[in-house]
Amino acid sequence: MKCLFCEIAEKKLPARILFEDVHAIAFEDVYPQAPVHVLVVPKKHISTSLEINPDDNWLVGHLFQIANTVAGQKGIAERGFRLVMNTNPESGQTVFHIHLHMLGGRVMHWPPG
Ligand code: AMP
Ligand code: ZN
């Protein structure tokens, strides 16, 4: 079975894209859990955070830079937002291509569910 986020990155499936460069893409989550819910996804296929190699360290940092840019675009940077990366089933990971959730536009609670 094809990877959903590889297919979105390759434009084989539609998405509401907010940012894209040669290394990564950011698009709206189809089932938003907050007024702002954006997924920041590397174009390189990495299944889970456990598969991030030292060579990928810059790429993971890049995902955070993109999340900051999109938070600014959405006007929530100063109010605050939450960045989440789920790893494996107990965390709730359902798409096995790493992605940073950027959630905001409402008060976040702690501990998370
Ligand atoms: P996770 O559960 O951490 O693996 O996150 C996967 C996220 O992908 C969920 O928040 C889903 O709502 C979202 N999602 C699933 N399919 C799509 C899609 N086609 N376009 C955008 N987001 C999606
Ligand atoms: Zn993939």
Q: Judge whether residue 1 has pLDDT over 90.
A: no
Helices (H) and strands (E) in the chain, counts: 2, 5
Give the residue carrying structure tokens 């360290």.
57
Residue 67: predicted pLDDT: 98
pLDDT digits (tens, 9 = 90+) for 50-70: 999 999 999 999 999 999 999
To test the ligand 1 pocket, which listed residue (25, 31, 96, 102) has its Cβ within 8 A of the most ligand atoms?
A: 31
* Closest to 41 (Cα-Cα) out of 56, 23, 14: 23
pLDDT confidence of residue 91: 97
Establish whether residue 7 lines the binding site of ligand 1, counting it when its CB lies within 6 angstroms of any ligand atom: no
Token pair 């929530």: residue: 76
Q: Enter the pTM of the model.
A: 0.98
Provide the 10 A C-beta neighbour count for residue 103. 19
In ligand 1, which atom is closest to the CA atom of 95?
4
Note whether 84 and 64 are within 8 A (CB): no
Q: What one-character DSSP code corresponds to residue 47? A: -
Q: Is 97 considered catalytic here?
A: no
